[in-house]
Chains A and B, each alone.
Chain A
Amino acid sequence: ELKVEQNPLFLSMQEGKNYTIYCNYSTTSDRLYWYRQDPGKSLESLFVLLSNGAVKQEGRLMASLDTKARLSTLHITAAVHDLSATYFCAVDADKLIFGTGTRLQVFP
């Protein structure tokens, strides 16, 4: 059974700091998606990673995929309040399985 684990589940960080969210999965896959959910809102696509070593960047967020380690990371650089949201990874391995989400709060 495919399992997708995100760490941490909750992250409170100060503006200007850097941090990384981890997404581990239990089976072979070379496709992974990151979504963002603002409080009370729907999910929006952030990144699509389609191969081993894929790296995508958008503003202060950078996502990478290591299929051999079955690991994706979402790195936050110099966090700002607008990044406060819940972030989900979703692994595509014959079926799409979402992680439990990481709730990020950025404070001044």
Chain B
Amino acid sequence: EAQVTQNPRYLITVTGKKLTVTCSQNMNHEYMSWYRQDPGLGLRQIYYSMNVEVTDKGDVPEGYKVSRKEKRNFPLILESPSPNQTSLYFCASSLYPPFSSGANVLTFGAGSRLTVL
């Protein structure tokens, strides 16, 4: 089944304890992206990757890191989490970036709900 898999789905952690949210897709997609969803703010992009070893900042990158060493994986790293990073996180992928020609529909993971105390 074609899908984007995120882990963990739920996580409660404490301020300053490094954590990684993994994201893997099995569709050979070039483009991958991380979003956070907060009430009243919709989805905001954290980082995105056009291809292996190519990543760039989205709208809210502060406090996050990413890497794209393999095409299928795009982990989100919180080096020193803070309470304002409590949110619902989504990883998404598409064959090509949304802003390239044609219809590039994003496939979303199930989401990871993170609470930072």
Contact = CB atoms under 8 A, between A and B. Distances in A.
Interface of A: 4, 9, 31, 33, 35, 41-45, 48, 50, 88, 90, 92-96, 98-101
B58 to A, nearest CB: 8
Nearest to B113: A40
B42 A92 contact: no
B42 A100 contact: yes
**Which of A43, A92, A93 has the most chain B CB atoms inside 10 A of its CB?**
A43
A100 B40 contact: yes
Given A42-B111, A99-B42, A48 B105 contact: yes
A70 to B, nearest CB: 17
Interface string B69-112: 00000000000000000000010100000110011011111110
A101 B102 CA distance: 24
B43 A98 contact: yes
Interface in B5-40: 35, 40
A88 B98 contact: no
B98 A92 contact: yes
Contact of B110 (A33, A41, A50, A101): A41
B108 A42 contact: yes
Contact of B99 (A88, A94, A98): A94
A54 B102 CA distance: 14
Given A41-B110, A43-B90, A96 B45 contact: yes
Contacts of A93: 99
B41 A33 contact: no
Contacts of A41: 110-111
B40 A42 contact: no
A101 B105 contact: no
A88 B42 contact: yes
Contacts of A100: 40-42
Contacts of B90: 42-43
A9 B39 CA distance: 11
Given A31-B98, A95-B99, A101-B42, 5 more contacts: A31-B103, A42-B110, A88-B43, A98-B42, A98-B43
Given A42-B90, A43-B90, A88-B43, A96 B105 contact: no
